[in-house]
């Protein structure tokens, strides 16, 4: 099982993802924004980051840019309710594994997570 960071400003979505992943046996930490995610990433090792694209202040793209600037290649699954094709292409070009559409189907989340960290 893996250690996963979930970053999303929407508490309901964040808590829902956390519960699904914990039921699958993963250890999950959460952050409500990019700055909180970067702080957690600086203090802990994660096997995967699940990050919302659009959050107040900095976006998921900002997180990806900062991770790559720090030479961190932690796998990232981006989630979004409204990313268009150009934004999705930018997200993937910056190294995210995938962009999952909100609302995220439980089985899609479980499958994509298992492909990255096992389980």
Give the pLDDT of residue 31.
98
- Residue 54: C-alpha distances to residues 16, 23, 117 (Å): 17, 26, 24
Contacts of 62 (CB under 8 A, 6+ apart): 34
Structural domains in the chain, CATH included, are: 3-117 (3.40.50.2300)
Among 82, 76, 87, 81, smallest CA distance to 103 is for: 81
Give the pLDDT of residue 119.
63
- The CB density around residue 35, as the number of other CB atoms within 10 Å, is 16
Question: For each of the chain's 119 residues, which pLDDT tens digit applies?
Answer: 899 999 999 999 999 999 999 999 999 999 999 999 999 999 999 999 999 999 999 999 999 999 999 988 899 999 998 878 999 999 999 999 999 999 999 999 999 999 999 76
How far is Cα 72 from Cα 64, in angstroms, rounded to an integer? Answer: 9
34 three-state secondary structure: helix
Give the pLDDT of residue 46.
97
Structure token pair of residue 31: 């952050």
Structure token pair of residue 20: 């699904």
């Amino acid at each position: 099982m893996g250690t996963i960071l979930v970053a999303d400003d929407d508490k309901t979505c964040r808590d829902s993802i956390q519960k699904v992943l914990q039921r699958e046996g993963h250890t999950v930490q959460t952050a409500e924004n990019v700055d909180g995610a970067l702080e957690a990433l600086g203090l802990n090792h994660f096997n995967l980051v699940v990050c919302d694209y659009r959050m107040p202040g900095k976006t998921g793209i900002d997180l990806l840019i900062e991770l790559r600037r720090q030479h961190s290649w932690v796998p990232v699954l981006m989630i979004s309710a409204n990313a268009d094709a150009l934004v999705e292409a930018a997200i993937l070009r910056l190294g995210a594994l995938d962009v999952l559409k909100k609302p995220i189907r439980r089985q899609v989340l479980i499958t994509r997570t298992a492909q990255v960290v096992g389980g």
